[in-house]
Amino acid sequence: MCDQQLKPDPQDIRIEYSALISYHNSIITHRFTLLGLFLAAVGIIIKDGVSPQDALFILALTIALYIVELRNRVLYTRMSKRAMEIEKIHWGLIQYNRDENISELPLFCRFRYNELKDELKKEPSVDLKNELEAKPKFWNKWEVCLLPASHSLGLDLLYCSVAFYAVVHLVYHLFK
């Protein structure tokens, strides 16, 4: 039986945190490598025109790889939450103190800023607020941001666009 009363060894926590950073980097690399291979495959398939079989294959491939993308997001979220737990509970890097002007946040808290408790987000320093709310230059130029800029949103739009393209070709060939 596991004794839950013992405090974990600090060295074990450091090793776990290092592993989480490594896995985090692996997932990010995997997401974009998979995306590149997906786009290359779609490009090769459609270069000479799209038959109904090609459109069906593209749709199936899109759905399959989007499922993998969603699983990567789940892994990313779970690892980030565990890293935030280490930062807060084991290292005490996050203190919920209203009177204290918090100007620095640890790494994974910056990645998942929107999931922090309201006490932390209430009064961030000017530098931290500017850093966390940074927008791509395009949004700053036009001062209009209809959608939040994120990799996940971009990947969602890309996979949906390819799926829509395949469905349009299937419908076109069906009623041709």
Q: Is residue 30, in this structure, part of any structural domain at all?
A: yes
Write out the two tokens for 73.
């997001």
**Segments forming the whole domain that contains residue 154:** 13-92+135-171
User: Of 104, 102, 105, 148, nearest to 122 (Cα)?
Assistant: 102
Q: Is residue 4, in this structure, part of any structural domain at all?
A: no
Question: What is the average pLDDT across 128-132?
Answer: 56
Q: Is residue 5, in this structure, part of any structural domain at all?
A: no
Q: Is residue 130, in this structure, part of any structural domain at all?
A: no
Q: Is residue 8, in this structure, part of any structural domain at all?
A: no
Contact between 58 and 165 under an 8 Å Cβ cutoff? The reply is: yes
Q: Alpha-carbon distance 112 to 91, whole Å?
A: 18
Which pLDDT score, from 0 to 100, does residue 146 have?
Answer: 56
**120 or 158, higher pLDDT:** 158
**pTM exceeds 0.75:** no
Q: How far is CA 142 from CA 96, 131, 134, 135, 145, in A?
A: 36, 19, 14, 11, 8
Q: Could you give the number of structural domains in the chain?
A: 1
Which pLDDT score, from 0 to 100, does residue 45 have?
Answer: 94
81: three-class secondary structure by DSSP = helix
Which pLDDT score, from 0 to 100, does residue 39 have?
Answer: 96
**151 or 103, higher pLDDT:** 151
Contact between 90 and 8 under an 8 Å Cβ cutoff? The reply is: yes
Q: Describe the chain by its helix, strand, coil percentages, rounded to 5.
A: 70, 0, 30
Q: Alpha-carbon distance 16 to 18, whole Å?
A: 5
Q: Alpha-carbon distance 61 to 163, whole Å?
A: 9
Q: What is the pLDDT of residues 27-75, one digit of tens each?
A: 989 999 999 999 999 999 999 989 999 999 999 999 999 999 999 989 9
Residues 12-44: b if buried by 16+ CB within 10 A, e if exposed: eeeeebeebeeebeeeeeebeeebeebeeebee
Q: How confident is the model at residue 1 (pLDDT cuts 50, 70, 90)?
A: very low
Contact between 49 and 157 under an 8 Å Cβ cutoff? The reply is: no
Q: Is residue 57, in this structure, part of any structural domain at all?
A: yes
Percent of the chain beyond pLDDT 70?
63
Q: Is residue 112, in this structure, part of any structural domain at all?
A: no
Q: Alpha-carbon distance 117 to 124, whole Å?
A: 12
Q: What is the pLDDT of residues 95-123, one digit of tens each?
A: 544 455 555 666 666 666 555 555 455 55
Q: Is residue 37, in this structure, part of any structural domain at all?
A: yes
